[in-house]
Structure 1
């Protein structure tokens, strides 16, 4: 068996759908009547049709992991279903060698009225393994899924996390030649997810993996190839995973902001950062300019700049104003707040602004995603901060080692 043999080859894969069910059924009848003698309907869009996947090409060898990323509706799920043989492409072809395991949809492939144990045998058989081969792996699958107590309970009574554990355990422990993993791992608890990634590291040398996720640190960790999809097409296809992730992140820079609270005593006129194209290199300075206008006669309020990540999780808070903010004529307030040597890790971030009264400390205004910016760095990390560090050689007799 060759270590670098091609296990998955996609050539010009395209798939189109119709937005209207009635029209779709009518097109199907027409295609059957014409006995598919003409291919014009495959190459050209008819009324109400659209390309869900368009001209996707790649090769995936044993030992390689392809990251498939893109926003919801970009065509990832359709492409996965083509690769898994659930639907046929309208154009192009896909060639897959060996056994294929897939975790595409939560609970997919499970018979809900059968027990977990019975579903292990069913799924193993679908993968092409004999009953003897499945029995040899049965205890490993049950232990990995951490479901021994519930393995004879109907799957319809399983929680979403239990289904994920069972599905991944079958797919990974049976060690297929090709493993397709959708976003289902996001449902599992952190401990199990970490165990899954450890298993992926273990089986990857013998397997080709197609991995779909919205977690870019995860994609960066496990993938050595990447395809970025947008409206069914490939925006980027290559081995530079970091470059592909940057293209994915860049799409989120223009998100619209929204006011989530106001007592109508102040409004935000404008906000911007001192950076071209909303991009900041790691360790550069972050400077945010604000322009507010008071709608009521109140003292200078307190301003809080909150930085959140792409999933809207707060990661940092800039100190409130103790000086440097004054009320100009007509109630205008214009100021800048700076943070030197920004060490947020690579990714897309948003700025939320919160304003509260300096008298009674009550909130008076909050607006989310007023500015979106991208931190540029060559490395992707799990952690929200990548802090500068220095290393120095210490001898065994260093005072730090003395009790």
Structure 2
């Protein structure tokens, strides 16, 4: 059975910057199509490639995140896949029903109620009248806008419109779902609910293409990512790997920089060196499970930092955060402040209770009071945890932290009973 639902083969799309020329080129291309002639492949005056020679495929159950700067061609790609525009070169092959969440609520009438707009918008998206009646209660329940469902949409906030638009589109049950920045609006409850729903749909066999500038959402939702830049596919691979590459591409290139400073961080601080040490003070890259660890970071404060909060996070191999180290108050009851200049910060962990595996450190820095983030640095350090003597390792469980504990068998077997049990098992 072929699980491939989307295949994009060497697709290119060009646009014209000048409106008059664009209209002229459009008429010319239409005449060429009427005469059975091929499209003009070369760039004409004022034209540019919005998408150029892009190829990738998407299988059933995959959630692919498309990331990249504004103007990279991400939305153009979705419009090509959805059939709203045609490629100038290449081919797009689709299998199954397609649903697009490129602009939520685009078909809503402001004077109609939310309930009435469900019928109109669902019909626009291709649902039959019987399907709409069958799923109406589910759509209303998912939108969760209460009594406003019977109020005119013109009185809705942008978040309420997003809720209703997503609820309608997600109940189409397509084979392929295209999602473009729909989670940029709406509250946290809606975003979490929408992401959970998309994960459920992917598990049921739907293929999803997800575009977002929120890298945390891409990281949490997507099983794979594609980095777009200037209309081209720069990289395609595991989500965390591609996000790291994208962040690196957006990071100002400073001579001697080893760590990934997310955009804006360089205005407040710059990390010069991070090292990990054992209890004897020796620099290490490998440590026994549950042994003490010292993390030392040297940085340059670009501005005076009043009692900032350094939030170090430890990521597991799958890149989820599984532990944190937060700067605590000193004996005087206040976190240290740093004047502009070079400083060294040290954290001591008496027992690093991580199970064997490979881990990565990253950090976020907040202003006093943890209200505003002023910096984020990833790929600070890598550490391999090895088992200590007699440590039990359960390799088939997705666990990373071993809690300190003491054990006692309240009703142990008698030694003779234990021997009998072992013999019976043999």
TM-score by length of 1: 0.69
- Match in the other structure for 1:157: 155
2:250 aligned counterpart, secondary structure: coil
Aligned to 2:198: 200
| Corresponding residue number in structure 2 for 1:211 | 210
Which residue is equivalent to 2:40?
41
CA shift for structure 1 position 38: 6.0
Flag the structure with more relative contact order, 1 or 2, with Cα contacts below 8 A and sequence separation at least 6. 1
8 Å contact from structure 1 (residues 273, 288) kept in 2 = yes
SS at match of 2:235: strand
Give the Å deviation of 1:220. Answer: 2.8
2:221 is matched with 222
Classify 1:39/1:169 alpha carbon distance in 2 versus 1 (closer, same or farther; 3 Å): same
Matched-pair contact (CA < 8 Å) for 2:96–2:176 = yes
- Give distance in 2, aligned partners of 1:22 and 1:307: 55
| CA distance in 1 between partners of 2:20 and 2:65 (Å) | 36
Query: What CA distance in whole angstroms lies between the structure 2 residues aligned with 1:306 and 1:22?
Result: 55
State whether residues 274 and 295 of structure 2, in contact with CA within 8 Å, keep that contact through their aligned partners in structure 1. Answer: no
Q: Any residues of structure 2 matched to 1:245-324 within 5 Å, and which? A: 245-254=243-252, 255=263, 272-274=271-273, 285-290=295-300, 304=307
Shift of 1:88: 1.6
Once the two structures are TM-superposed, the CA of residue 162 in structure 1 deviates from its matched residue by 0.9
Report how far residue 393 of structure 1 moved.
7.6
Change (3 A) 1:287 1:81: same
- Asked if the contact 2:296–2:346 (Cα under 8 Å) also holds between the matched residues in 1, the reply is yes
- RMSD of aligned residue pairs (Cα, Å): 4.2
Distance 1:144 1:257 in 2: 39
Instruction: State the Cα distance separating 1:397 from its structure 2 match.
Output: 5.5
Deviation at 1:340, TM superposition (A): 6.2
- Structure 2 vs 1, CA of residues 83 and 333 (structure 1 numbering), >3 Å: closer, same or farther? closer
> Hey, what's the Cα distance between the residues in 2 that align with 1:155 and 1:346?
47
Compared CA separation, residues 396 and 16, structure 1 to 2 (3 A): farther
Structure 1 residues 286 and 32: CA distance shift in structure 2, 3 A: farther
Are the structure 2 counterparts of residues 13 and 397 from structure 1 closer, same or farther at C-alpha, using a change threshold of 3 Å?
farther
Tell me what 1:79 maps to.
Answer: 77
Contact 2:32 2:39 in 1 (8 A): no
Matched, 1:235 2:234: yes
Cα 1:63/1:52, change in 2 over 3 Å: same
Distance, in Å, in 2 between the alignment partners of 1:377 and 1:169 is 42
2:135 to 120, 134, 137: 137
SS of 2:66's partner is: strand
Counterpart CA distance in 1 for 2:329 and 2:176 is 50
CA deviations 1:302-356 (Å, max 9, x no partner) are 76556589xxxxx966879x9xx9xxxxxx965444456899x9798676899xx
User: How many Å apart are 1:101 and its aligned residue?
Assistant: 1.7
Question: Relative to structure 1, is the Cα distance of residues 47 and 376 closer, same or farther in structure 2, using a 3 angstrom cutoff?
Answer: farther
Tell me the equivalent position of 1:363: none
Secondary structure in 2 aligned to 1:107? coil
Q: Aligned partners of 1:397, 1:21: CA distance in 2, in Å? A: 83
1:247 Cα deviation after fit: 1.0
Q: State whether residues 69 and 226 of structure 1, in contact with CA within 8 Å, keep that contact through their aligned partners in structure 2.
A: yes
Q: Which residue of 2 aligns with 1:20?
A: 18
- The C-alpha deviation readout for 1:26-59, integer Å capped at 9, x for no partner, is 33344445557765732x2233322211222122
Indicate the residue corresponding to 2:189 in structure 1. Answer: 191
1:6–1:60 contact (8 Å) kept in structure 2: yes
1:206 is paired with a residue whose SS is coil
* 1:167 lines up with 2:177 in the alignment: no
User: What secondary structure does 2:40 align onto?
Assistant: helix
Does the residue aligned with 2:43 lie in a helix, a strand or coil? coil
Structure 1 range deviating more: 131-140 or 96-105: 96-105
In the alignment, is the contact (CA less than 8 A) between 2:16 and 2:46 conserved in 1?
A: yes
- Matching of residues 357-376 of structure 1 within 5 Å: 374-375=379-380
CA distance in 1, matches of 2:22, 2:56: 29
Following superposition, the deviation at residue 68 of structure 1 comes to: 1.2
Asked whether the equivalents of residues 127 and 176 of structure 1 are also in contact (C-alpha less than 8 Å), the reply is no
Count of aligned pairs: 341
User: Residue in 1 aligned with 2:145?
Assistant: 147
Write the distance in 1 (CA, Å) between the matches of 2:251 and 2:366: 14
Q: Verify the 8 A CA contact 1:54 1:232 in the aligned structure 2.
A: yes
Displacement of 1:117:
2.0
Q: Give 1:109 deviation, angstroms.
A: 3.0
CA 1:120–1:273 in 2, change beyond 3 Å: closer, same or farther? same
